[in-house]
Amino acid sequence: MAFKPANNIQDLQYFGEFGGVNPSISDSSTYTFLSAKTMFDTFEGNADGCYLYSRHSSPSNLYLGEALAAMEGTETANVSASGMGAITPVLLQLCGAGDHIVSSRTIYGGTYAFLKNFVPRLNIETSFVDITNLEAVEHAITENTKVLYCESVSNPLLEVADIKGLADIAKRHNLKLVVDNTFSPLSISPVILGADVVIHSLTKFINGSSDTVGGVVCGSQEFINALRNVNDGASMLLGSTMDSVRAASILKNLRTLHIRMQQHSHNAMYLAEKFEADGLKTVYPGLESHPSHNLFKSMMNEKYGFGGMLTIDVGSLDKANELMEMMQDKNLGYLAVSLGFYKTLFSAPGSSTSSEIPEDEQKEMGLSDGLIRFSIGLDADIERTYKTMRTCMETLNILDPREEIIKPSKLQNA
Ligand code: PLP
Protein backbone atom coordinates (compact mmCIF):
# COMPACT_ATOMS: atom_id res chain seq x y z
CA MET A 1 0.00 0.00 0.00
CA ALA A 2 1.27 3.48 -0.84
CA PHE A 3 2.62 5.54 2.05
CA LYS A 4 0.11 8.24 3.04
CA PRO A 5 1.99 10.97 4.94
CA ALA A 6 -0.91 13.44 5.26
CA ASN A 7 -3.28 10.70 6.51
CA ASN A 8 -0.73 9.84 9.17
CA ILE A 9 -0.73 13.45 10.39
CA GLN A 10 -4.53 13.61 10.36
CA ASP A 11 -4.88 10.36 12.32
CA LEU A 12 -3.11 11.81 15.36
CA GLN A 13 -5.44 12.94 18.11
CA TYR A 14 -4.52 15.64 20.58
CA PHE A 15 -6.65 17.53 23.06
CA GLY A 16 -5.93 20.55 25.19
CA GLU A 17 -6.03 20.08 28.95
CA PHE A 18 -9.63 21.42 29.07
CA GLY A 19 -10.73 19.44 26.03
CA GLY A 20 -9.60 22.11 23.57
CA VAL A 21 -9.26 20.92 19.97
CA ASN A 22 -5.68 22.15 19.95
CA PRO A 23 -3.21 20.97 22.56
CA SER A 24 -2.45 23.48 25.29
CA ILE A 25 0.82 25.37 24.92
CA SER A 26 3.38 24.44 27.56
CA ASP A 27 4.45 27.81 28.89
CA SER A 28 7.21 26.62 31.22
CA SER A 29 10.95 26.24 31.04
CA THR A 30 11.07 23.85 34.00
CA TYR A 31 8.82 21.21 35.57
CA THR A 32 8.09 20.10 39.14
CA PHE A 33 8.62 16.57 40.43
CA LEU A 34 6.59 14.97 43.19
CA SER A 35 9.64 13.07 44.38
CA ALA A 36 13.37 13.71 44.25
CA LYS A 37 13.88 10.11 43.12
CA THR A 38 11.85 10.70 39.92
CA MET A 39 13.95 13.78 39.17
CA PHE A 40 17.11 11.68 39.50
CA ASP A 41 15.62 8.94 37.28
CA THR A 42 14.69 11.53 34.65
CA PHE A 43 18.28 12.76 34.48
CA GLU A 44 19.32 9.17 33.99
CA GLY A 45 16.83 8.96 31.10
CA ASN A 46 14.62 6.46 32.95
CA ALA A 47 11.40 8.33 33.63
CA ASP A 48 9.26 8.08 30.53
CA GLY A 49 6.63 10.79 30.24
CA CYS A 50 8.28 13.13 32.75
CA TYR A 51 9.41 16.56 31.66
CA LEU A 52 12.58 17.97 33.09
CA TYR A 53 13.60 21.18 31.42
CA SER A 54 12.41 22.66 28.12
CA ARG A 55 15.80 22.58 26.37
CA HIS A 56 15.49 18.80 26.70
CA SER A 57 11.84 18.53 25.66
CA SER A 58 8.48 20.15 26.23
CA PRO A 59 4.93 18.92 25.58
CA SER A 60 4.41 21.38 22.70
CA ASN A 61 7.67 20.36 21.03
CA LEU A 62 6.82 16.69 21.44
CA TYR A 63 3.41 17.17 19.81
CA LEU A 64 4.96 18.83 16.78
CA GLY A 65 7.74 16.22 16.68
CA GLU A 66 5.19 13.38 16.73
CA ALA A 67 3.26 14.88 13.83
CA LEU A 68 6.43 15.28 11.77
CA ALA A 69 7.55 11.74 12.63
CA ALA A 70 4.15 10.50 11.44
CA MET A 71 4.61 12.45 8.21
CA GLU A 72 8.05 10.94 7.57
CA GLY A 73 7.28 7.44 8.88
CA THR A 74 9.92 7.48 11.62
CA GLU A 75 9.64 6.34 15.23
CA THR A 76 10.02 9.84 16.56
CA ALA A 77 11.50 13.30 15.91
CA ASN A 78 13.16 16.23 17.63
CA VAL A 79 12.28 19.80 16.69
CA SER A 80 14.86 22.58 16.81
CA ALA A 81 15.09 26.35 16.60
CA SER A 82 16.08 26.35 12.90
CA GLY A 83 16.93 24.02 10.03
CA MET A 84 20.64 24.57 10.71
CA GLY A 85 19.85 23.80 14.35
CA ALA A 86 18.74 20.36 13.14
CA ILE A 87 21.51 19.71 10.58
CA THR A 88 24.52 20.66 12.68
CA PRO A 89 23.77 18.49 15.76
CA VAL A 90 22.95 15.48 13.56
CA LEU A 91 26.33 15.68 11.85
CA LEU A 92 28.17 16.32 15.09
CA GLN A 93 26.35 13.44 16.78
CA LEU A 94 27.29 11.02 14.01
CA CYS A 95 30.87 12.22 13.44
CA GLY A 96 33.86 12.93 15.65
CA ALA A 97 37.50 13.85 15.11
CA GLY A 98 39.04 11.82 12.31
CA ASP A 99 35.70 10.97 10.67
CA HIS A 100 34.67 11.68 7.09
CA ILE A 101 31.43 12.67 5.37
CA VAL A 102 30.46 12.16 1.74
CA SER A 103 28.09 14.96 0.77
CA SER A 104 26.31 16.10 -2.32
CA ARG A 105 28.07 19.14 -3.72
CA THR A 106 24.80 20.90 -4.49
CA ILE A 107 23.27 21.62 -1.11
CA TYR A 108 22.04 24.66 0.77
CA GLY A 109 24.88 27.21 1.12
CA GLY A 110 24.76 27.22 4.94
CA THR A 111 25.15 23.44 5.12
CA TYR A 112 27.95 23.62 2.57
CA ALA A 113 29.73 26.30 4.63
CA PHE A 114 29.35 24.22 7.80
CA LEU A 115 30.91 21.17 6.13
CA LYS A 116 33.56 23.06 4.20
CA ASN A 117 34.66 25.69 6.73
CA PHE A 118 33.49 24.72 10.19
CA VAL A 119 33.82 20.98 10.81
CA PRO A 120 37.44 20.79 9.58
CA ARG A 121 38.27 22.66 12.85
CA LEU A 122 37.08 19.50 14.60
CA ASN A 123 39.10 17.35 12.21
CA ILE A 124 36.05 16.14 10.31
CA GLU A 125 36.59 16.09 6.56
CA THR A 126 34.01 16.13 3.76
CA SER A 127 34.20 14.99 0.14
CA PHE A 128 31.71 16.81 -2.08
CA VAL A 129 30.43 14.69 -4.95
CA ASP A 130 27.92 14.71 -7.78
CA ILE A 131 25.13 12.93 -5.90
CA THR A 132 23.45 11.82 -9.13
CA ASN A 133 26.52 9.69 -9.93
CA LEU A 134 26.28 6.68 -7.61
CA GLU A 135 29.66 5.38 -8.73
CA ALA A 136 31.32 8.66 -7.75
CA VAL A 137 29.53 8.52 -4.40
CA GLU A 138 30.77 5.01 -3.65
CA HIS A 139 34.26 5.88 -4.88
CA ALA A 140 34.51 8.78 -2.38
CA ILE A 141 33.87 6.53 0.66
CA THR A 142 36.91 5.88 2.85
CA GLU A 143 37.38 3.70 5.92
CA ASN A 144 36.65 6.80 8.04
CA THR A 145 33.35 7.69 6.35
CA LYS A 146 30.39 7.75 8.71
CA VAL A 147 27.70 9.72 6.86
CA LEU A 148 26.24 10.06 3.38
CA TYR A 149 24.53 13.46 3.19
CA CYS A 150 22.20 14.86 0.54
CA GLU A 151 19.04 16.83 -0.14
CA SER A 152 16.19 14.90 -1.82
CA VAL A 153 15.81 17.82 -4.22
CA SER A 154 18.85 20.05 -4.03
CA ASN A 155 19.04 23.75 -3.31
CA PRO A 156 19.27 25.53 -5.73
CA LEU A 157 19.91 23.27 -8.74
CA LEU A 158 16.98 20.91 -8.15
CA GLU A 159 19.09 17.80 -8.62
CA VAL A 160 17.21 14.73 -7.43
CA ALA A 161 18.92 12.16 -5.20
CA ASP A 162 18.34 8.47 -5.87
CA ILE A 163 17.53 7.71 -2.25
CA LYS A 164 17.12 3.95 -2.74
CA GLY A 165 20.44 3.74 -4.55
CA LEU A 166 22.17 5.83 -1.89
CA ALA A 167 20.57 3.75 0.89
CA ASP A 168 21.99 0.57 -0.68
CA ILE A 169 25.46 2.11 -0.71
CA ALA A 170 25.05 3.33 2.87
CA LYS A 171 24.01 -0.15 4.06
CA ARG A 172 26.89 -1.85 2.23
CA HIS A 173 29.42 0.46 3.89
CA ASN A 174 27.68 0.73 7.26
CA LEU A 175 27.06 4.48 6.93
CA LYS A 176 24.11 6.61 7.98
CA LEU A 177 22.17 8.16 5.10
CA VAL A 178 21.02 11.62 6.19
CA VAL A 179 18.56 13.37 3.86
CA ASP A 180 17.43 16.99 3.99
CA ASN A 181 13.86 16.85 2.63
CA THR A 182 13.10 20.58 2.92
CA PHE A 183 12.23 21.04 -0.79
CA SER A 184 9.87 18.06 -1.07
CA PRO A 185 7.74 17.54 2.05
CA LEU A 186 4.94 14.99 1.49
CA SER A 187 6.06 14.46 -2.14
CA ILE A 188 9.07 12.36 -1.12
CA SER A 189 9.33 10.19 2.00
CA PRO A 190 13.06 9.40 2.30
CA VAL A 191 12.82 6.93 5.21
CA ILE A 192 10.39 4.76 3.27
CA LEU A 193 13.08 4.66 0.55
CA GLY A 194 15.82 3.63 2.99
CA ALA A 195 17.21 6.85 4.56
CA ASP A 196 18.21 6.65 8.24
CA VAL A 197 17.61 10.26 9.26
CA VAL A 198 15.43 12.94 7.65
CA ILE A 199 15.85 16.64 8.32
CA HIS A 200 13.64 19.58 7.43
CA SER A 201 13.99 23.29 7.70
CA LEU A 202 10.46 23.94 8.97
CA THR A 203 11.04 27.57 8.01
CA LYS A 204 9.97 26.74 4.44
CA PHE A 205 6.95 24.82 3.10
CA ILE A 206 6.06 23.04 6.33
CA ASN A 207 5.34 26.19 8.31
CA GLY A 208 4.50 28.07 5.14
CA SER A 209 3.99 31.52 6.69
CA SER A 210 7.55 32.91 6.61
CA ASP A 211 7.05 34.06 10.20
CA THR A 212 9.63 31.88 11.95
CA VAL A 213 12.66 29.69 11.50
CA GLY A 214 12.48 26.10 12.73
CA GLY A 215 13.84 22.63 12.08
CA VAL A 216 13.31 18.94 12.78
CA VAL A 217 15.25 15.69 12.84
CA CYS A 218 13.14 12.58 12.18
CA GLY A 219 14.70 9.23 13.05
CA SER A 220 14.72 6.18 15.29
CA GLN A 221 13.93 6.46 18.99
CA GLU A 222 17.50 5.41 19.71
CA PHE A 223 19.01 8.19 17.59
CA ILE A 224 16.67 10.91 18.87
CA ASN A 225 17.34 9.80 22.47
CA ALA A 226 21.07 10.07 21.71
CA LEU A 227 20.61 13.64 20.38
CA ARG A 228 18.70 14.58 23.55
CA ASN A 229 21.00 12.82 26.02
CA VAL A 230 21.88 15.18 28.87
CA ASN A 231 25.49 13.95 28.97
CA ASP A 232 26.53 13.84 25.33
CA GLY A 233 23.57 14.66 23.10
CA ALA A 234 24.40 17.29 20.47
CA SER A 235 20.88 18.77 20.37
CA MET A 236 20.67 18.99 24.16
CA LEU A 237 24.18 20.41 24.60
CA LEU A 238 24.31 22.79 21.62
CA GLY A 239 20.94 24.08 22.75
CA SER A 240 19.16 24.99 19.53
CA THR A 241 15.72 24.44 21.07
CA MET A 242 12.42 25.57 19.60
CA ASP A 243 10.16 27.69 21.76
CA SER A 244 6.83 26.06 22.72
CA VAL A 245 4.73 28.91 21.35
CA ARG A 246 6.37 28.47 17.95
CA ALA A 247 5.97 24.71 18.06
CA ALA A 248 2.22 25.16 18.64
CA SER A 249 1.88 27.59 15.73
CA ILE A 250 3.89 25.40 13.33
CA LEU A 251 1.72 22.39 14.28
CA LYS A 252 -1.38 24.35 13.29
CA ASN A 253 0.15 25.30 9.95
CA LEU A 254 1.31 21.73 9.29
CA ARG A 255 -2.32 20.63 9.09
CA THR A 256 -2.85 22.44 5.79
CA LEU A 257 0.47 21.37 4.25
CA HIS A 258 -1.15 18.76 1.98
CA ILE A 259 -3.46 21.35 0.41
CA ARG A 260 -0.69 23.92 0.07
CA MET A 261 1.77 21.48 -1.52
CA GLN A 262 -0.80 20.50 -4.13
CA GLN A 263 -1.29 24.15 -5.07
CA HIS A 264 2.44 24.99 -5.02
CA SER A 265 3.08 22.00 -7.29
CA HIS A 266 0.18 22.78 -9.60
CA ASN A 267 1.30 26.39 -10.07
CA ALA A 268 4.97 25.47 -10.50
CA MET A 269 4.12 22.83 -13.12
CA TYR A 270 1.99 25.33 -15.03
CA LEU A 271 4.74 27.97 -15.10
CA ALA A 272 7.53 25.48 -15.84
CA GLU A 273 5.67 24.16 -18.89
CA LYS A 274 4.97 27.68 -20.15
CA PHE A 275 8.54 28.91 -19.57
CA GLU A 276 9.99 25.88 -21.32
CA ALA A 277 7.63 26.27 -24.28
CA ASP A 278 8.72 29.93 -24.47
CA GLY A 279 12.30 28.74 -24.96
CA LEU A 280 13.60 29.65 -21.49
CA LYS A 281 16.17 27.33 -19.92
CA THR A 282 13.88 25.91 -17.24
CA VAL A 283 14.62 23.34 -14.57
CA TYR A 284 11.70 21.64 -12.80
CA PRO A 285 11.56 17.98 -11.79
CA GLY A 286 8.05 17.74 -13.25
CA LEU A 287 9.31 18.45 -16.78
CA GLU A 288 10.25 15.47 -18.90
CA SER A 289 13.41 17.34 -19.85
CA HIS A 290 14.64 17.16 -16.24
CA PRO A 291 17.39 14.51 -16.15
CA SER A 292 15.84 12.88 -13.07
CA HIS A 293 12.16 13.28 -13.97
CA ASN A 294 11.57 9.51 -14.03
CA LEU A 295 13.54 8.98 -10.85
CA PHE A 296 11.41 11.61 -9.04
CA LYS A 297 8.28 9.91 -10.40
CA SER A 298 9.43 6.54 -9.12
CA MET A 299 9.95 7.95 -5.59
CA MET A 300 7.04 10.36 -5.20
CA ASN A 301 3.76 10.26 -3.31
CA GLU A 302 1.91 11.24 -6.45
CA LYS A 303 -0.80 13.41 -4.97
CA TYR A 304 1.59 16.16 -3.95
CA GLY A 305 3.27 16.72 -7.29
CA PHE A 306 6.82 17.76 -8.10
CA GLY A 307 7.03 20.60 -5.61
CA GLY A 308 7.00 24.37 -5.71
CA MET A 309 10.61 25.09 -6.72
CA LEU A 310 11.81 25.87 -10.22
CA THR A 311 14.70 27.73 -11.82
CA ILE A 312 15.18 29.63 -15.04
CA ASP A 313 18.39 30.98 -16.52
CA VAL A 314 18.11 34.44 -18.07
CA GLY A 315 21.76 34.68 -19.16
CA SER A 316 23.34 37.17 -16.78
CA LEU A 317 23.13 38.44 -13.22
CA ASP A 318 22.19 41.92 -14.47
CA LYS A 319 19.23 40.55 -16.41
CA ALA A 320 18.23 38.37 -13.47
CA ASN A 321 18.30 41.39 -11.15
CA GLU A 322 16.33 43.56 -13.57
CA LEU A 323 13.69 40.87 -14.00
CA MET A 324 13.34 40.22 -10.27
CA GLU A 325 12.98 43.93 -9.52
CA MET A 326 10.36 44.31 -12.23
CA MET A 327 8.41 41.25 -11.08
CA GLN A 328 8.37 42.62 -7.54
CA ASP A 329 7.23 45.96 -8.86
CA LYS A 330 4.33 44.24 -10.66
CA ASN A 331 3.39 42.45 -7.43
CA LEU A 332 4.18 39.00 -8.84
CA GLY A 333 6.15 38.04 -5.76
CA TYR A 334 8.98 39.20 -3.55
CA LEU A 335 12.70 39.50 -4.17
CA ALA A 336 13.60 37.49 -1.09
CA VAL A 337 15.49 34.38 -0.08
CA SER A 338 13.71 31.41 1.48
CA LEU A 339 10.79 29.41 0.15
CA GLY A 340 7.38 27.97 0.82
CA PHE A 341 5.50 31.25 1.28
CA TYR A 342 2.01 31.96 -0.13
CA LYS A 343 3.56 34.61 -2.37
CA THR A 344 6.13 33.65 -4.97
CA LEU A 345 9.69 34.35 -3.77
CA PHE A 346 12.64 34.75 -6.12
CA SER A 347 16.37 35.25 -5.73
CA ALA A 348 19.59 34.74 -7.66
CA PRO A 349 21.26 31.98 -5.65
CA GLY A 350 24.81 32.66 -6.92
CA SER A 351 24.83 36.00 -5.12
CA SER A 352 22.58 35.07 -2.19
CA THR A 353 21.72 31.68 -0.68
CA SER A 354 24.67 29.91 -2.32
CA SER A 355 27.18 32.77 -2.09
CA GLU A 356 29.09 30.73 0.52
CA ILE A 357 30.15 28.48 -2.37
CA PRO A 358 33.26 29.88 -4.13
CA GLU A 359 32.68 31.11 -7.68
CA ASP A 360 34.79 28.47 -9.40
CA GLU A 361 32.92 25.71 -7.55
CA GLN A 362 29.60 27.33 -8.46
CA LYS A 363 30.61 27.15 -12.12
CA GLU A 364 31.73 23.53 -11.83
CA MET A 365 28.39 22.47 -10.37
CA GLY A 366 26.44 24.38 -13.03
CA LEU A 367 25.30 27.30 -10.90
CA SER A 368 25.31 30.11 -13.43
CA ASP A 369 25.08 33.89 -12.85
CA GLY A 370 21.75 34.29 -14.63
CA LEU A 371 19.98 31.62 -12.59
CA ILE A 372 16.82 32.69 -10.78
CA ARG A 373 15.35 30.38 -8.18
CA PHE A 374 11.59 30.62 -7.76
CA SER A 375 9.52 29.34 -4.88
CA ILE A 376 6.14 29.42 -6.57
CA GLY A 377 3.31 30.74 -4.43
CA LEU A 378 -0.28 29.73 -3.93
CA ASP A 379 -1.65 32.14 -6.60
CA ALA A 380 -5.32 31.47 -7.30
CA ASP A 381 -4.94 32.63 -10.92
CA ILE A 382 -1.62 31.31 -12.19
CA GLU A 383 -2.51 32.07 -15.81
CA ARG A 384 -2.70 35.79 -14.98
CA THR A 385 0.62 35.53 -13.12
CA TYR A 386 2.23 33.90 -16.16
CA LYS A 387 0.94 36.55 -18.54
CA THR A 388 2.36 39.38 -16.44
CA MET A 389 5.68 37.54 -16.01
CA ARG A 390 5.83 37.05 -19.76
CA THR A 391 5.25 40.79 -20.31
CA CYS A 392 8.12 41.59 -17.92
CA MET A 393 10.40 39.24 -19.88
CA GLU A 394 9.41 40.82 -23.17
CA THR A 395 10.02 44.33 -21.82
CA LEU A 396 13.53 43.29 -20.76
CA ASN A 397 14.23 41.50 -24.08
CA ILE A 398 14.59 38.17 -22.32
CA LEU A 399 11.84 36.90 -24.61
CA ASP A 400 10.88 38.24 -28.01
CA PRO A 401 7.52 39.98 -28.03
CA ARG A 402 4.86 37.53 -29.07
CA GLU A 403 3.10 38.32 -32.30
CA GLU A 404 -0.42 39.35 -31.61
CA ILE A 405 -2.76 36.47 -32.16
CA ILE A 406 -5.36 37.55 -34.70
CA LYS A 407 -8.76 36.42 -33.61
CA PRO A 408 -10.82 34.60 -36.28
CA SER A 409 -13.61 37.22 -36.00
CA LYS A 410 -11.14 39.95 -36.95
CA LEU A 411 -9.99 37.92 -39.94
CA GLN A 412 -13.54 37.61 -41.13
CA ASN A 413 -14.05 41.36 -40.88
CA ALA A 414 -10.87 42.08 -42.80
N1 PLP B 1 18.11 23.06 4.20
C2 PLP B 1 17.71 23.67 3.06
C3 PLP B 1 17.48 22.85 1.84
C4 PLP B 1 17.52 25.05 3.04
O5 PLP B 1 17.12 25.64 1.91
C6 PLP B 1 17.77 25.80 4.23
C7 PLP B 1 17.60 27.27 4.27
O8 PLP B 1 17.47 27.94 3.29
C9 PLP B 1 18.19 25.13 5.37
C10 PLP B 1 18.33 23.76 5.32
C11 PLP B 1 18.48 25.86 6.65
O12 PLP B 1 17.30 26.13 7.31
P13 PLP B 1 17.12 27.35 8.37
O14 PLP B 1 17.29 28.60 7.61
O15 PLP B 1 15.75 27.11 8.92
O16 PLP B 1 18.19 27.18 9.39
Are 139 and 58 within one domain?
yes
Residue pair 68/77 in contact (Cβ under 8 Å)? The answer is yes
The reply to whether ligand 1 has any atom less than 6 angstroms from the CB of 83 is yes
Domain count of the chain? Answer: 2
pLDDT of residue 109: 94
The reply to whether ligand 1 has any atom less than 6 angstroms from the CB of 112 is no
Does the predicted model carry a pTM greater than 0.85? yes
Are 215 and 291 within one domain?
no
pLDDT of residue 403: 62
Closest-CA residue, ligand 1 atom 12, reads 83
pLDDT of residue 350: 82
Are 308 and 236 within one domain?
no
Residue 405 lies in a domain: no
pLDDT of residue 388: 98
Are 78 and 29 within one domain?
yes
215-219 vs 334-335, strand pairing mode: unpaired
Does the pLDDT of residue 6 top 50, yes or no? yes
Q: What range defines the domain where residue 342 resides?
A: 258-395
Are 177 and 265 within one domain?
no
What is the pLDDT confidence band of residue 238, given thresholds at 50, 70 and 90? very high
Ranges of beta strands (E only) in 175-238 are: 176-180, 197-201, 215-219
Are 44 and 142 within one domain?
yes
Mean residue pLDDT across the chain: 94
C-alpha 109 – ligand 1 centre gap (Å): 9
Which of 120-134, 180-194, 389-403 has the weakest average pLDDT? 389-403
Ranges of beta strands (E only) in 1-124 are: 76-80, 100-104
The reply to whether ligand 1 has any atom less than 6 angstroms from the CB of 375 is no
Are 314 and 224 within one domain?
no
C-alpha 135 – ligand 1 centre gap (Å): 28
Are 76 and 99 within one domain?
yes
Rounded CA separation 309/375 (Å) = 5
The reply to whether ligand 1 has any atom less than 6 angstroms from the CB of 354 is no
What is the pLDDT confidence band of residue 414, given thresholds at 50, 70 and 90? very low
Does the pLDDT of residue 353 top 80, yes or no? no
User: pLDDT tens for residues 124-142?
Assistant: 999 999 999 999 999 999 9
Residue range 146-157: mean pLDDT, rounded: 96
Closest ligand 1 atom to 85 CA? 16
Are 125 and 231 within one domain?
yes
Closest-CA residue, ligand 1 atom 13, reads 83
C-alpha 83 – ligand 1 centre gap (Å): 5
Does the pLDDT of residue 9 top 60, yes or no? yes
The last residue of one of the domains, among 205, 227, 254, is 254
Closest-CA residue, ligand 1 atom 4, reads 108
Closest ligand 1 atom to 353 CA? 8
Does the pLDDT of residue 406 top 80, yes or no? no
The reply to whether ligand 1 has any atom less than 6 angstroms from the CB of 203 is yes
Closest ligand 1 atom to 87 CA? 10
Are 72 and 136 within one domain?
yes
pLDDT of residue 231: 93
CATH of the domain at 205: 3.40.640.10
User: pLDDT tens for residues 59-90?
Assistant: 999 999 999 999 999 999 999 999 999 999 99
Are 195 and 321 within one domain?
no
Does the pLDDT of residue 203 top 60, yes or no? yes
Residue 401 lies in a domain: no
The last residue of one of the domains, among 210, 237, 254, is 254
Strand arrangement, sheet containing 334-335? 281-283, 309-313, 371-375, 345-347, 334-335
Residue 404 lies in a domain: no
Are 173 and 316 within one domain?
no
Residue 43 lies in a domain: yes
Does the pLDDT of residue 413 top 70, yes or no? no
C-alpha 388 – ligand 1 centre gap (Å): 30
pLDDT of residue 408: 54
